[in-house]
Amino acid sequence: MKRLLVVLAALSLISANAQTDSAQIRTLANEILQNSQTYENLRVLTKTIGGRLAGSEQMYQAEEWGFKALRSAGGDQVWKQSCLVPHWVRGGIDEASVILKTGKRPLDVVALGNSIGAGKEGVTADVVLVNSFDELEAKKDQVKGKIVFYNYAFNNSMVRTFEAYSDANKYRAQGPSRAAKYGAVGVIVRSLSHSTDNHPHTGSTRYDSAYAKIPAVAIGLKDADWLAQHLVSNKTTVSLKTYGYFLPDVMGHNIIGELKGTEFPEEIITVGGHLDSWDNCEGAHDDGAGCVQTIEILRAFKAIGYKPKRTIRFVLFANEENGLRGGNKYAEEAKAKGEKHIFALESDAGGFTPRAFGFTISDAQFEKVSSWRSLIAPYGCSEFVKGGGGADIGPLNRTFQTPVAGLQPDSQRYFDYHHARNDTFEAVNKRELELGAVNMAALILLVDKYGL
Amino acid sequence: MKRLLVVLAALSLISANAQTDSAQIRTLANEILQNSQTYENLRVLTKTIGGRLAGSEQMYQAEEWGFKALRSAGGDQVWKQSCLVPHWVRGGIDEASVILKTGKRPLDVVALGNSIGAGKEGVTADVVLVNSFDELEAKKDQVKGKIVFYNYAFNNSMVRTFEAYSDANKYRAQGPSRAAKYGAVGVIVRSLSHSTDNHPHTGSTRYDSAYAKIPAVAIGLKDADWLAQHLVSNKTTVSLKTYGYFLPDVMGHNIIGELKGTEFPEEIITVGGHLDSWDNCEGAHDDGAGCVQTIEILRAFKAIGYKPKRTIRFVLFANEENGLRGGNKYAEEAKAKGEKHIFALESDAGGFTPRAFGFTISDAQFEKVSSWRSLIAPYGCSEFVKGGGGADIGPLNRTFQTPVAGLQPDSQRYFDYHHARNDTFEAVNKRELELGAVNMAALILLVDKYGL
């Protein structure tokens, strides 16, 4: 009987907790949906600063903006954590054109991030099309002195578009060096997208130091289709002009706001996005969205008077796009100071309607967070899945085995905008952006209240 | 032992079925995601025909287009089902402006559908703002000879935006007559939206025959906010010009394509959307999307060689927006012919990423469809919920108790576009539109194979 009473008491406690949690999350959601500053913050970041690649003047402007925004949102402390970041510059306006008897046919291209320029005269050479690395190997004797065109298509049948991105990403990352290995002098990569427009999508490439560094561009999808079709029956010469180079590393910063925990201040929860973006766009979905959501969670906690038990850090990470120095620095310093990081959450998949959280976490921890699913599902994240996190919080996970999670918004539109000139403020919907913040805030609240 | 064997045999049959179903749905999804004509069909409907209100010339053009599209998608039979439809015309360019000492301040407005025009001279009167019907009742002695401005805001804290629509819709539907009851001469309704722009959103109003019919417009949200603010400290006169009137009913048509069932041809499954749209937009999300998805399911079934057991009807309904005559006619004729309608599915909530199906269905039937959830979830509709259907298939449900369901795509952007001039082709994402068709096709396939 006594045992039954204990069980009943425990059950009623759980039920009472669930009611309190549910009401608290509703309050938080109302605060964000009715008084949010996410959209206005995003407008300022994207429209008054714009693209903000590591090392650029805009990086410093964005740091100042982020510092002020976290302060005005109500951080107990806000500081800048210094870290050296690479300083790649595009150096000019990337161009490519097909040389025809009748004149030139321009192609819409953008140099890949971290790629080397094509020199004063540019590179002019015949094009060899390959649809895959297997085809490259089969044609390896034909590519010397040529421009290799990787025309590997984004796989439309993959419903989760990040799978299509992972699948195609190797051509952007490894394509230049694998072509250089056989003597190619330049590379054109089909943009990693399934959009209906012709905007080219940049992103980092990685040279293998064993081979020559050759210029490399991404090409818009319509031009890629045109070029592939043209190549069927024409020997095709393309002229490439790119100007990329590296300047010495400069000092950049992670921008960190903190709410000190009232009961377990030594237990740290991190939530963040990355402040840098590519230079050819406004970086609205990638990752202005994650930054303004992070700031909003802090603002909303303060606005509803929530006093966290644990210490919560709101972090705008530096240099995710072409170096990950911010994320690495954050984990290094945490290790050096012996900090205890119990959880980290990142939003870096666009400001779209939230659908899921993906967790890299132990089975027991996954069971615990899954018990909260019904509290969060009404706001969008009705699925809690294993696997996921974020580039910037990866180092925390690798250093401390810190449980990490990533917000997984609807992914259908992300690669229409990702790293392309149309990743602008106008491409973000206010409600979708805000709901992302609501779901993240709810998860952080529950981890704060109950630990992991 | 024998019993165990029977159970095991049954289980392995279920498992084998599930595998077959899963593979068949994957084939269907690949066909749609790789070869879909939804997007191109939507472009033609919206860009070459555009708005297509019942009775308009564009209604007839859209009927011809739909007939040809269903034929070319492969219907065994395609026919037009005649039904009289109302013929409301806007009659001119709706205008409103605030009369200031310094001149006129224009307001972005659109006359409500089915509303009466303001006469040659228009209506000019002072404005009384009310935030609710309760406030109207409280101010009933002040509205005689005035224009009533219903400024009831869309409830942002409702995560499912259709709930906010249902909540606010009474002001558009009943507002004019409830104000006329107290002698008002005109009505301005805050648009049923939470968008960030100023486009006004039309939609039907319903006059109560007990009171005078007075002109009524919807106003854009920014102008609504401005007007409300202006009224705080200013007596405000507004001039309204609208020109709406009814012509006699004309003959419109439901456009119906059919695949005849091979085993149970007398059992009919209906899938559809509505072909009409408001005249002030291209009707892309509402409901061009539902139409092209319907056509695509037919095309995809034919393309993969699927021969349905039951008869499947692909229906583009007439006159959903301001009469529902198409949906009513479809059910009436079904009754007159003694047809057996076992299921109907509608897509009329926009061409956004599919998230759920909502069913109006018995408990036993809900249990049956729920057993298919895991087969469809990978494509987007991870939630099967009770309640839902569609306006055009409502009459089937009321006549035969036919189980009905509605596709429930993500709803965050719908009321940014709904009945407003920005409901254009450009507002629809190709992948999101196609995924809607995939999920609908999968559900129709399962109902066809296993009945209900």
Residue of B nearest to A27 (CA): B157
Residue of B nearest to A380 (CA): B159
Q: Is B63 a catalytic residue?
A: no
Amino acid type, B215: P
Which chain B residues contact residue A300 at CB under 8 A?
Answer: none
Which chain A residues contact residue B36 at CB under 8 A?
Answer: none
Most confident of A17-26, B17-26, B82-91: B82-91
Comparing A2-6, A118-122, B74-78, the range with the smallest average pLDDT is A2-6
- Among A159, A416, A426, the strongest candidate for a mutation testing the B interface, having the largest count of B CBs within 10 A, is A159
Choose among B33, B34, B382: nearest Cβ to A382. B382
* Residue B406 confidence (pLDDT) above 60: yes
In this complex, do B435 and A416 lie within 8 Å of one another by their Cβ atoms?
no
Distance, CA of A365 to CA of B77 (rounded, Å): 57
Domains and CATH numbers, chain A: 27-84+249-450 (3.40.630.10), 92-246 (3.50.30.30)
Scored b (16 or more CB within 10 A) or e, A84-120 reads bbbbbebeeebbbbbeeeeeebebbbbbbbbbbbbee
Which chain A residues contact residue B410 at CB under 8 A?
Answer: 353, 410
In this complex, do A412 and B353 lie within 8 Å of one another by their Cβ atoms?
yes
Active site residue: B320, B321, B346, B432, which one?
B320
* Residue A11 confidence (pLDDT) above 60: no
Quick check: B32 and B296 in contact, CB under 8 A? yes
pLDDT tens digits, A25-57: 999 999 999 999 999 999 999 999 999 999 999
Q: How much is the pLDDT for A5?
A: 60
Nearest Cα residue to B358 out of B266, B278, B440 = B440
What does pLDDT average to over chain B?
96
* Residue B418 confidence (pLDDT) above 80: yes
pLDDT tens digits, B38-69: 999 999 999 999 999 999 999 999 999 999 99
Chain A interface, Cβ < 8 Å to B: 29-30, 33-34, 39, 156-157, 159, 161, 194, 196, 353, 355, 378-380, 382-383, 410, 412-413, 416, 429-432, 435
Q: How much is the pLDDT for A8?
A: 57
Active site residue: A320, A321, A346, A434, which one?
A320
Choose among B196, B353, B383: nearest Cβ to A410. B353
Choose among A34, A378, A412: nearest Cβ to B431. A412
Position A19 confidence tier, pLDDT thresholds 50, 70, 90: confident
- Token pair, residue B159, equals 């995560």
Helix ranges, A36-160 (H)? 38-43, 57-73, 133-138
- Token pair, residue B148, equals 């009533």
Distance, in angstroms, between B379 CA and closest chain A CA? 6
Nearest Cα residue to B244 out of B151, B73, B122, B156 = B122
* Residue A140 confidence (pLDDT) above 60: yes
pTM reported for the whole predicted model: 0.95
Q: What is the DSSP string of A23-53?
A: HHHHHHHHHHHHH--HHHHHHIIIIII----
Amino acid type, A448: D
ipTM of the prediction: 0.94
Distance, CA of B372 to CA of B16 (rounded, Å): 14
Contacts of residue A292, defined as CB under 8 A and 6 or more positions apart, other chains included, come to A37, A38, A39, A41, A42, A45, A433, A437
Of chain B, the percentage scoring pLDDT greater than 90 comes to: 96
In this complex, do A382 and B383 lie within 8 Å of one another by their Cβ atoms?
yes
Residue of A nearest to B430 (CA): A196
Phi then psi for B268, rounded to 5 degrees? -105, 130
SS3 A100: strand
Which chain B residues contact residue A429 at CB under 8 A?
Answer: 412-413, 416
CA B292 to chain centre: 13
- Token pair, residue B220, equals 């854009």
Distance, in angstroms, between A111 CA and closest chain B CA? 27
Q: What is the DSSP string of B98-122?
A: EEETTEEEEE-EEEPBTPPP--TT-
Which chain B residues contact residue A157 at CB under 8 A?
Answer: 29-30, 33-34
Which chain A residues contact residue B383 at CB under 8 A?
Answer: 382
* Residue A229 confidence (pLDDT) above 80: yes
Distance, in angstroms, between A62 CA and closest chain B CA? 25
Contacts of residue A198, defined as CB under 8 A and 6 or more positions apart, other chains included, come to A108, A220, A221, A222, A223
Position B18 confidence tier, pLDDT thresholds 50, 70, 90: confident
Nearest Cα residue to B407 out of B419, B390, B424 = B390
SS3 B123: strand
Distance, CA of A374 to CA of A384 (rounded, Å): 10
Contacts of residue B286, defined as CB under 8 A and 6 or more positions apart, other chains included, come to B277, B278, B348, B350, B417, B418, B419, B423
Q: How much is the pLDDT for A16?
A: 72
Nearest Cα residue to B156 out of B173, B170, B168, B172 = B168
What does pLDDT average to over chain A?
96
pLDDT tens digits, A305-318: 999 999 999 999 99
Distance, in angstroms, between B187 CA and closest chain A CA? 27
pLDDT tens digits, A336-393: 999 999 999 999 999 999 999 999 999 999 999 999 999 999 999 999 999 999 999 9
pLDDT tens digits, B178-204: 999 999 999 999 999 999 999 999 999
In this complex, do A435 and B412 lie within 8 Å of one another by their Cβ atoms?
yes
* Residue B425 confidence (pLDDT) above 60: yes
Distance, in angstroms, between A431 CA and closest chain B CA? 6
Angle at B439 between CA B59 and CA A192, to 5 degrees: 95
CA A85 to chain centre: 17
Average of per-residue pLDDT across B399-405: 96
Distance, CA of B11 to CA of A15 (rounded, Å): 37
pLDDT tens digits, B110-155: 999 999 999 999 999 999 999 999 999 999 999 999 999 999 999 9
CA A231 to chain centre: 35
